Homo-oligomer: A and B are copies of this chain.
Amino acid sequence: MNFSSRLLENAVNEFSRLPGVGQKTALRLVLHLLNQPVADVDRFSEALKKMKHEIRFCDTCRNISDTAICDICSNPKRDKNLVCVVEDTRDVMAIENTNQYNGVYHVLGGLISPMDGIGPSELNIESLVQRVKSGQLQEVILALSATMEGDTTIFYIYKKLKEFPVKVTTIARGIAFGGEIEYVDEITLGRSIATRVPYENSFLK
């Protein structure tokens, strides 16, 4: 692109480094900001900087937090015996939105993915083992994506925790709410039959 200004070009280049943002979109966003009041752009710029410099990760669960111990871990009403292992903070949000879970979390910060060069040591797995070792936990729920990376990570963590007296569970896989049998893929359908649930325990009542 032929930019008439280096300042404009720099801002566009920074935006276009973001995932899914091309040069044209970046230019549109930058020109939008150029039309906004100075105070708004300063606030945007400041919010980013502050976020990056001041955000920390909860000492216990490694979730994004403003404080040393996050709100969930420090909430006396949450069940500290039950820990749900998730990939990242988006999954914590998703599970919190269900209003079905009252335990605490452990955020791995990713999944094992040899293709992307992410091994177990890059993830917060050792700190999970330490939490289990401390003996307080009764159950570890592995709520990881149903992908190859998720399954690999589940298997790795399961092996690591096998020696401890803790129950290790994974979230149920099966047909989704509203799913019609004829359109469900065969792996999901097969597994949903293999892991069928007694009607009394199915929450369909």
Contacts and interface: CB of A to CB of B under 8 A. Distances in A.
A29 interface: yes
A64 interface: yes
Interface stretch (A86-94, A141-149, A173-181, A184-192): A86-94
A78 interface: no
Contacts of A10: 47, 50-51
Interface in A1-48: 1-8, 10-11, 13-15, 17-21, 25, 27-34, 36, 38, 40-48
Interface residues of A, number: 60
The winner among A44, A51, A54 for most chain B CB atoms within 10 A is A51
Interface of A: 1-8, 10-11, 13-15, 17-21, 25, 27-34, 36, 38, 40-55, 58, 63-66, 70-72, 88-90, 92-93, 96-97
